[in-house]
A and B are shown apart, each in its own frame.
Chain A
Amino acid sequence: MSLHPDKLPLLHGLVDGELDAANTIAIEAHLKTCADCRAELEQIQAVRDLIAAAPLREHAPESLHKRIALMVDAEAGPAPRAPAASRPAPMPGRLAWAGEGVAAHVLSGRWLSGVATGLIAASIALAVVVPQMTHTDMEDQLVQSHVRSLLVGHLVDIPTSNRHVVKPWFNGKVDFAPPVPELADQGFPLVGGRLDYIDDHEVAAIVYRRHLHVINLFVRPAHTLSLPGEVATRHEGYSLVRWTAGGLEYWAVSDVEMGDLKLFRQAYLARTQ
C-alpha cells in the first residue's frame, strides 16, 4: 500500500491520462523521489495490463441482436405507404360498397322507407366504415404491444393479483377508470396492470392469465364513431376480441384459443355489469 494515500488518485489519473498539465508535472516530480509511489504505479499498471491482455468484454448474443431489432421494427410500426397521389384509391369503392350493403340491409328489413333512406344509409355507412378502416392498423398495434409486453419482461408496471391495488393504480395515469374484476375463479387470474400506447394515446393494459398464456386487455375510451359491435378475429396467429361497454372500448389480445378469449369476455362482462 502506498504511504501517500493522497497521491493515489493522481497515480490512477496519470495512467488513465486524465490529469491536467500541472498535476502531471507534480506527480511525476513526486515519483522521482518516492519509491513507494513508484511501486504503487507499477502495481496499477500490472493490473491494467492483466485486464487488457484478456478477452474480458462480453458480446451480446445473436439472439439478443435479433430480438432488439424486431422490437425496434415493432416500435416503428407499419411501413409508410406510398404517397397519396400514386396510391390506388380503395376507399371510395369500399365506401360505396358498404353504403349499398347497408342500404340493402335496411331496405330488406322494411323498417324504413322513403327519401330519407338513402341519406341515413350513407351516414350509417360512414359510421361503419370509419372504424373499420383502422382495424388492421389497430390490430397490428395491439398484437405488437402484446408481443412487446412478453418480450421485454415488461408485462406489468404494477404486479399484483389484488384488483383493489390495480384499479387505483390507473387513477391519475389515465383519464378513465377501467374496471378490474377478479376472475381467478373463472380461470383467469389477474396478473397486474401496465400503461401502454395505442394510436399514440395512453391506454390501460390489464393483464390476466389463462393457464400459461397471457391475456392483455387494452382499455381506452370508446371513440364517438365506434360501434358497439363485438369483433372476434385472428391476426398474425393471435386472437383478438373487441367489445365496448360503459363508454370504454376493450381489446383482449392473447395466443389462447378464440373460444377461451370469448369466455374471457363473457366472464369480464358478467363481473362488470
Chain B
Amino acid sequence: MRGRGPFWPRLAASADRRTEEARERHDKADAFRRAMMPHMDAAYNLARYLTRNPSAAEDIVQDAFLRAYRSFDTWRGEAAKSWLLTIVRNCFLNSVGGAADRMSGRPVHEIVGDLPDALIESSNPESLLADQNEAAMLRATIEQIPEPFRETLILRELEELSYKEIAAIAQVPIGTIMSRLARARQMLADLLLPHASRKARS
C-alpha cells in the first residue's frame, strides 16, 4: 500500500472540511428557525387572504419558506416578518403568473372604477349573516375586497404593520398605501356598517 501515504492526509482534510461545512449549514438552519419560524402564522394569514384557498395558501407558504431559506444569506437582520411576507407575496404573484399586474400595474382609480358592481354582485350579506357567525361573515366580506386593497388591509389590520413596512412589501410609495387603505376601509364600511346598524336597531 505505497499509495496510501500521499493520499491519506488529503482525505482527512476533505473530511474535516465537510464537517466544517455541515456545522455551518446547521448554524444557518438554527438562525433561520429562530428568526423566521415565529412568523409562520403571519405568512399563512397573508397567503390565506391572498389566495382565498387553504391548500393553495399552504403551498405558497411552504414555497416561501424554502425560498426564504435559500436566500437567508441576504437577510440583513431587518424586520424578519416584513422580509418573510415580501417573499410570501412574491410567491403568490408567481403562482398566479400573468395576473400579477392586477396587484401593482394598474393605477388605483382604474380598479376602483369597476369596483361597486363586483362587490354588489358577489355579496349577499343577508344570507351570510343568516347562517354564519359574525367572524366568518367578516372574513368572507374581506375576501371579497379586490386586490390590491385586500392585502393592504390585511397587512395593516391583521398583521399590524406600519405604512412604511407595507409600502416596502408591496413595493409602492407610502402615499399609495394610504389611499389603498382608505379605499379598503371604505369598501368594508359600505358592506358592513349599514347591516351592523340595522342589526343594532332591530
A is bound by B: yes
Residues of A within 8 A of B (CB): 1, 8-9, 11-13, 16, 18, 43-44, 46-48, 50-52, 54-61, 63-65, 67-69, 71-73, 75-81, 83-84, 91-92, 95-96, 99, 118-119, 122-123, 125-126, 130, 133, 137, 148, 151-154, 200
How many Å from the CB of A90 to the closest CB on chain B? 10
B interface, size bucket:
35 or more
The answer to whether B8 touches A64, judged by C-beta atoms less than 8 angstroms apart, is no
Question: Which of B4, B12, B45, B57 interacts with A57 by CB under 8 Å?
Answer: B45
The answer to whether A60 touches B19, judged by C-beta atoms less than 8 angstroms apart, is no
10 contacts between A and B (CB under 8 A): A11-B182, A46-B196, A51-B138, A56-B138, A64-B58, A80-B26, A95-B1, A118-B2, A119-B3, A126-B3
CB-based nearest A residue for B158: A57
Residues of B within 8 A of A (CB): 1-4, 7-8, 11-12, 15-16, 18-19, 21-23, 25-26, 28-29, 32-33, 37, 40-41, 43-45, 48-49, 54, 57-59, 61-63, 65-66, 69-70, 134-135, 138-139, 142, 156-158, 162-163, 175, 178-179, 181-182, 185-186, 188-189, 192-193, 196
B32: chain A residues at CB < 8 Å are: 72
CB-based nearest B residue for A148: B66
Q: Give Cα A50–Cα B3 distance, bound, in whole angstroms.
A: 79
Q: Name the prevailing secondary structure of the B interface residues.
A: helix
Q: Give Cα A154–Cα B67 distance, bound, in whole angstroms.
A: 11
Q: Give Cα A171–Cα B135 distance, bound, in whole angstroms.
A: 52
Q: Give Cα A12–Cα B19 distance, bound, in whole angstroms.
A: 55
Q: Give Cα A137–Cα B15 distance, bound, in whole angstroms.
A: 12
B186: chain A residues at CB < 8 Å are: 1
How many Å from the CB of A147 to the closest CB on chain B? 12
- Also in contact, A72 and B29, with CB within 8 A (given A54-B134, A80-B23): yes
CB-based nearest B residue for A126: B7
The answer to whether A123 touches B3, judged by C-beta atoms less than 8 angstroms apart, is yes
Q: Give Cα A81–Cα B188 distance, bound, in whole angstroms.
A: 57
The answer to whether B62 touches A64, judged by C-beta atoms less than 8 angstroms apart, is yes
Question: Which of B29, B43, B49, B181 interacts with A12 by CB under 8 Å?
Answer: B181
A72: chain B residues at CB < 8 Å are: 29, 32-33, 65, 69
The answer to whether B65 touches A68, judged by C-beta atoms less than 8 angstroms apart, is yes
How many Å from the CB of B108 to the closest CB on chain A? 12
CB-based nearest B residue for A12: B182
Residue from B16, B22, B43 whose CB has the most chain A CB atoms within 10 Å: B22
- Also in contact, A154 and B2, with CB within 8 A (given A54-B134, A58-B45, A80-B23): no
